[in-house]
Chains A and B, each alone.
Chain A
Amino acid sequence: MLQVLLSGLTVGTIYGLVAMAFAIVFYVTKVINFATGQLLMVSILLVSGLVKLGLPDWLGIVTGLVAATVLGVATYFIAVRPVLRFDRFSFAWLVSTLGVAIVIQATFALIYGPASQPFPRGLHAIPVRLGPATLTVQEIVTLAVGLLAIVGWHLVRRYTLLGKLGKAISTDPEIASTVGANVTAFAVGAFAIGGFLAGLAGILVGPITYGNPYLGDTYGIFGFIALMIGGIQRPAAAMGGGLVLGVLSIAANTYIGAQASDWFPFVLVLLVLLLTPNGVFASGDQLRRLFRTRRAYQQGVNA
């Protein structure tokens, strides 16, 4: 039981980080970068490749993270900015970012071939017993990173210009630029954070999955599902969606059958999309707002 919960939270953190990467980009630009999953794959495969060439693990990891970040920013300049410039309201970015995903995936498949590559075991080799459950140090680090990401985003949102102006920029970039916001810089920042988070998720999950060019597809889709479950409007809720997805998937695997996690997430997201289209956490928000306004209304009536 505890094992299921902890394993679920660990897997969920990975999904959540990818979902946050999606959500932060969306928060500032109203664009969903469908190549996000591929950035995760890039960081894993670069680490595998560089370590194979004899580089120390840490250097490989740093390179992987930098590459994912840079590639995230490059996606913005190659596939998003020109498309939005042509027509700010079109959905052409949907196709162009999916196109980038295909290019990245095909390029890495070309270089590495479809077979799995070894990934440094690192901290994953050290088990830790927690009562009846066992986790590896890597998994504990993963949980910590997930927590850090939520706290970090909260700080960004509260105390940085990116967080405060992000929403305004995505709502109307033209107006935002008239009050002096450099829209491009903010978008670059968002895509960089997104790329970094996806890369980070890759480093964390690498020892479990090993390297494979099609990992981006898998984790991109699960991260996207986590995003849909949590709600696209708020990055922290996206992490929440990841945790819900992770725990429920592992639970389904344990209690329903070994292959359940292949289809269970899709049933889950279908239910969420049908019942609360804006995500599980957003619906709570709506309820809260409903109560708050009703209270305000009653106060108004009483006054």
Chain B
Amino acid sequence: MTGMLRRHSWIGALVLLAAFIAGTWGVAKSGFGIQSIVTVAAIYVILAVSLDLVAGTVGLYSLGHAGLFAIGAYGTSLLNRYLDLDVFLLLPIVIVAAGLVGAMLGALSLRVSGLYFAITTFIFTIIVYVVLSNSSWTFGLQGTTGPIFPAFPVATGAVLGRSVVWAVAAVVLIAIVISWSIRASAFYPVLLAVRDAEPYARANGVRSSLVKVGIFALSAGMAGMAGWAFSFLVYQSPGTFGWVASVNLLVMVIIGGMNTRLGPILGAVLVSVFPFVVKIDPFWQEVVFGVVFVAVIVFFPRGLVGLGDLIAGWVRRAIARRAPADATEPPEAGAASGAPTPDPEGDPVVPAEGDALAARGIRFSYVPGVPVLQDVDMVVRRGTIHGLIGPNGSGKSTLVNLISGELRAQVGTIELNGARVERLSSPTRPAHGLMRTFQSAVLVREIPVLENTTVGLYSTVKHIAGRSIVWPLLPGARRDYRAMRERSAAALGSVGLEPSWHPALVRDVPHGVEQLTQLASSIVSEPSVLILDEPLAGLSGAEIAHVADILHRLKARGVTIIVIEHQTRFIFDHCDDVTVIAAGELVTSGPAAEVRTNDRVREVYLGQ
């Protein structure tokens, strides 16, 4: 069955490719008028696709794409004019140049925030415009013609038509293949996690800043590539590359549908063909265009593709209503469904001796002079369930964030499975066998439960990011993703989520399922140490019993578990050892039974 499907998807891709080549051929043989409209629209397709890659998938609104586009176009024209470089040699040069500029902009601006990124890229575009229009070597406001793209030999040209059309088609194809490959790869859920749930991505070993800068650099390189092709088509003047052009590109992406496969393509075609179809006074045209685009953003924030989905949804529901009403509602969360699923990993592991985690002499403060943790020790024996309790504001979450690398302690050591980790950042933790969950489940709401869980395997599979740009073309990558999905499905099964839940979008599932999904994604890579930050928050009684059951099964497999919880009954019933902190200081730490009877604990925490 899957084999069949795979063959079918190949057939689909081949049909699309054949249609694309046939279309290109048709345009290459057609008249100059059609060619100029189609090729320019195609350039905007590349730009919109590249912009959607940063804006849609990692949520960075770049207003710098017009500037990067200019680097590609002017770079090709000017280097060809002054240094007489070959146009084919110029393609990699301008791609790398634009990519490097993108990496620099990203690295500098992402230190601060997403808004700052938008502002910096906006100013970048303005600066490029100012330089282009004020310099004599760029021919100022007047602009310049680009190089001539070498024609086919006469015999070939008679068959294939105009060569530059084929060149444009090739770069469009590259851009679309890269973007669609990333969307089909195991990297895609990771990117969305970087956008929506950064701490979660980092805890799963994703170096999020590097990912953002890398994706922006890739997108910038694609914009440079668009500029290269553009230089053969149209006379270039600074006006084409102003901030309005940057905004227009964002408009294309939004009108078409952000973060969709077809949206940016559709949007780019519509917007760039608009002036040719609506032939009115250019001032009027600008007014109409502006009004249309504000209206789209305000009324259809999901764009045309979103609108299409909406209509398709209505149609589907209308059909479903007519059909007999035995629609398969997903069952209740596994918690309620009773019988625990058999453990897929099998053999219980005998707990090894020694400490899985040792944090010693931890001192930390957010603001100098106001200590949050003072000389706190916490030692967790291997293969135990260890409770961490304390009143609100006692520093539990801070301690966990220090252990997981979200924060760095001013003083103290943290040993994880024998390795010192206190100076390493949070994405390094999975390599040392540590995974964690967060107080409120942070997952990507617009993708299914199963895909969210695969993010948990990011650190175990090599070269996910590097391979993502040609993912579907690599049999090894497809195999890896299949294996990741299978392991994720097994992990979801082991926390009691039945297969019917796996394809459900996270935004559609109840809170309990969300919590269990997070748990599944933290155990899917089989960490040796697991930190659960208030895993019971908002769960029902049956669900709590279910989580307790999961914890004991994990323990039986040899996993060391640290639980932060306010429900002291749960802690004392299920933990081997308990550490109590209050007001940033260690109250006591030891076997649960001893801690329970400790006078100070009863006083400060149990209120007895």
Kindly provide the distance from the CB of B304 to the nearest chain A CB, expressed in whole angstroms.
16
Residue in contact with B123 in the complex, picked from A87, A94, A269, A278, CB distance below 8 Å: A269
CA distance A64 to B289 in the complex (A): 26
Kindly provide the distance from the CB of A28 to the nearest chain B CB, expressed in whole angstroms.
16
Do B298 and A79 touch (CB < 8 A)?
yes
Residue in contact with B126 in the complex, picked from A94, A100, A102, A266, CB distance below 8 Å: A266
**What residues of A have a CB within 8 angstroms of the CB of B593 in the complex?**
none
Residue in contact with A106 in the complex, picked from B250, B283, B368, CB distance below 8 Å: B283
CB contact under 8 A between A273 and B123, given known A103-B287, A106-B283, A262-B134: yes
Residue in contact with A225 in the complex, picked from B123, B291, B293, B299, CB distance below 8 Å: B123
CA distance A50 to B297 in the complex (A): 34
**What residues of A have a CB within 8 angstroms of the CB of B368 in the complex?**
293-294, 296-297
Residue in contact with B294 in the complex, picked from A94, A99, A263, A297, CB distance below 8 Å: A99
**What residues of B have a CB within 8 angstroms of the CB of A270 in the complex?**
123, 127
CB contact under 8 A between A293 and B369, given known A86-B301, A102-B247, A110-B283: yes
**Closest chain B residue to A98, Cβ basis:** B247
Residue in contact with A228 in the complex, picked from B118, B123, B290, B297, CB distance below 8 Å: B123
CA distance A246 to B131 in the complex (A): 20
Interfacial residues of chain B within 241-282, with CB under 8 A of chain A in the complex: 243-244, 247, 250-251, 254, 281
Do B254 and A263 touch (CB < 8 A)?
no
CA distance A103 to B247 in the complex (A): 13
Residue-by-residue, is B109-135 near A (CB-CB < 8 Å gives 1, otherwise 0)?
101101110111001001100110010
CB contact under 8 A between A96 and B123, given known A262-B130, A266-B130: no
**What residues of A have a CB within 8 angstroms of the CB of B63 in the complex?**
94
Do A99 and B290 touch (CB < 8 A)?
yes
Do A263 and B134 touch (CB < 8 A)?
yes
CB contact under 8 A between A83 and B123, given known A91-B61, A91-B118: no
CA distance A100 to B250 in the complex (A): 14
Query: Does A277 belong to the interface (CB within 8 Å)?
Result: yes
Kindly provide the distance from the CB of A114 to the nearest chain B CB, expressed in whole angstroms.
9
CA distance A159 to B458 in the complex (A): 53
**Closest chain B residue to A290, Cβ basis:** B368
Query: Does A259 belong to the interface (CB within 8 Å)?
Result: yes
**What residues of B have a CB within 8 angstroms of the CB of A99 in the complex?**
247, 251, 290, 293-294, 297
Kindly provide the distance from the CB of A277 to the nearest chain B CB, expressed in whole angstroms.
5
CA distance A217 to B360 in the complex (A): 59
Interfacial residues of chain A within 45-103, with CB under 8 A of chain B in the complex: 78-79, 82-83, 86-87, 90-92, 94-96, 98-100, 102-103
**What residues of A have a CB within 8 angstroms of the CB of B82 in the complex?**
none
CB contact under 8 A between A300 and B290, given known A95-B247, A109-B283, A270-B123: no
Kindly provide the distance from the CB of B258 to the nearest chain A CB, expressed in whole angstroms.
9
Query: Does B367 belong to the interface (CB within 8 Å)?
Result: yes
Kindly provide the distance from the CB of B294 to the nearest chain A CB, expressed in whole angstroms.
4
Do B369 and A102 touch (CB < 8 A)?
no
Do A79 and B294 touch (CB < 8 A)?
yes
Kindly provide the distance from the CB of B297 to the nearest chain A CB, expressed in whole angstroms.
5
**What residues of A have a CB within 8 angstroms of the CB of B301 in the complex?**
83, 86-87, 90, 92
Residue in contact with B61 in the complex, picked from A94, A269, A273, CB distance below 8 Å: A94
Residue-by-residue, is A258-290 near B (CB-CB < 8 Å gives 1, otherwise 0)?
010011001001100110011000000000000
Do B112 and A277 touch (CB < 8 A)?
yes
CB contact under 8 A between A91 and B254, given known A103-B290, A109-B286, A263-B134: no
Do B298 and A96 touch (CB < 8 A)?
yes
Residue-by-residue, is A22-46 near B (CB-CB < 8 Å gives 1, otherwise 0)?
0000000000100000000000000
CA distance A189 to B106 in the complex (A): 35
**Closest chain A residue to B297, Cβ basis:** A96
Query: Does A107 belong to the interface (CB within 8 Å)?
Result: yes
Query: Does B108 belong to the interface (CB within 8 Å)?
Result: yes
Do B367 and A95 touch (CB < 8 A)?
no
**What residues of B have a CB within 8 angstroms of the CB of A278 in the complex?**
112
CB contact under 8 A between A102 and B286, given known A95-B247, A274-B108: yes
CB contact under 8 A between A300 and B369, given known A110-B284, A259-B134: yes
Query: Does A215 belong to the interface (CB within 8 Å)?
Result: no
A98, A103, A263, most chain B CB atoms within 10 A: A98
CB contact under 8 A between A266 and B123, given known A92-B297, A96-B297: yes
CA distance A302 to B180 in the complex (A): 62
Do B123 and A106 touch (CB < 8 A)?
no
Do B286 and A91 touch (CB < 8 A)?
no
CA distance A277 to B120 in the complex (A): 10
**What residues of A have a CB within 8 angstroms of the CB of B109 in the complex?**
273, 277
CB contact under 8 A between A95 and B130, given known A266-B123, A273-B123, A277-B112: no
Do B294 and A100 touch (CB < 8 A)?
yes
Residue in contact with A95 in the complex, picked from B108, B127, B297, B299, CB distance below 8 Å: B297
Residue in contact with B287 in the complex, picked from A98, A110, A277, CB distance below 8 Å: A110
Do B369 and A91 touch (CB < 8 A)?
no
**Closest chain B residue to A293, Cβ basis:** B368
CA distance A32 to B122 in the complex (A): 13
CA distance A91 to B126 in the complex (A): 20
**What residues of B have a CB within 8 angstroms of the CB of A87 in the complex?**
301
**Closest chain A residue to B115, Cβ basis:** A91
CA distance A273 to B301 in the complex (A): 31
Do A107 and B287 touch (CB < 8 A)?
yes
Kindly provide the distance from the CB of B507 to the nearest chain A CB, expressed in whole angstroms.
13
Interfacial residues of chain B within 286-330, with CB under 8 A of chain A in the complex: 286-287, 289-291, 293-294, 297-299, 301
Kindly provide the distance from the CB of A155 to the nearest chain B CB, expressed in whole angstroms.
28
CA distance A173 to B427 in the complex (A): 33
Do A92 and B286 touch (CB < 8 A)?
no
Query: Does A252 belong to the interface (CB within 8 Å)?
Result: no
CB contact under 8 A between A78 and B294, given known A83-B301, A87-B301, A269-B123: yes
Query: Does A19 belong to the interface (CB within 8 Å)?
Result: no
Residue-by-residue, is B416-460 near A (CB-CB < 8 Å gives 1, otherwise 0)?
000000000000000000000000000000000000000000000
Query: Does A221 belong to the interface (CB within 8 Å)?
Result: yes
**What residues of B have a CB within 8 angstroms of the CB of A103 in the complex?**
287, 290-291, 294
Do B286 and A106 touch (CB < 8 A)?
yes
CA distance A270 to B124 in the complex (A): 8
**What residues of A have a CB within 8 angstroms of the CB of B367 in the complex?**
293
**What residues of B have a CB within 8 angstroms of the CB of A110 in the complex?**
281, 283-284, 287
Do B294 and A273 touch (CB < 8 A)?
no
**What residues of A have a CB within 8 angstroms of the CB of B244 in the complex?**
102
Do B251 and A95 touch (CB < 8 A)?
yes
Kindly provide the distance from the CB of B375 to the nearest chain A CB, expressed in whole angstroms.
16
**Closest chain A residue to B119, Cβ basis:** A228
CA distance A238 to B426 in the complex (A): 37
**What residues of B have a CB within 8 angstroms of the CB of A105 in the complex?**
286
**What residues of B have a CB within 8 angstroms of the CB of A266 in the complex?**
123, 126-127, 130
**What residues of A have a CB within 8 angstroms of the CB of B61 in the complex?**
91, 94-95
Kindly provide the distance from the CB of B301 to the nearest chain A CB, expressed in whole angstroms.
5
CB contact under 8 A between A95 and B298, given known A259-B134, A266-B127, A270-B123: no
- Of the A-B pairs whose beta carbons lie under 8 Å apart in the complex, a sample of 12, sorted by A's number, is A79-B297, A91-B61, A92-B301, A102-B244, A102-B293, A109-B283, A109-B286, A110-B287, A228-B123, A266-B127, A270-B123, A274-B108
Which residue numbers of B lie inside 8 Å of A, CB to CB? Answer: 61, 63, 108-109, 111-112, 114-116, 118-120, 123, 126-127, 130-131, 134, 243-244, 247, 250-251, 254, 281, 283-284, 286-287, 289-291, 293-294, 297-299, 301, 367-369
A-B residue pairs, 8 tightest by C-beta: A297-B369, A103-B290, A106-B286, A110-B283, A99-B294, A102-B290, A297-B368, A106-B287
Which residue numbers of A lie inside 8 Å of B, CB to CB? Answer: 32, 78-79, 82-83, 86-87, 90-92, 94-96, 98-100, 102-103, 105-107, 109-110, 221, 225, 228, 259, 262-263, 266, 269-270, 273-274, 277-278, 293-294, 296-297, 299-301
11 more contacts with CB within 8 A, not counting A109-B286, A293-B368, are: A83-B297, A91-B118, A95-B251, A98-B243, A102-B289, A106-B287, A110-B287, A266-B126, A273-B123, A293-B367, A299-B369
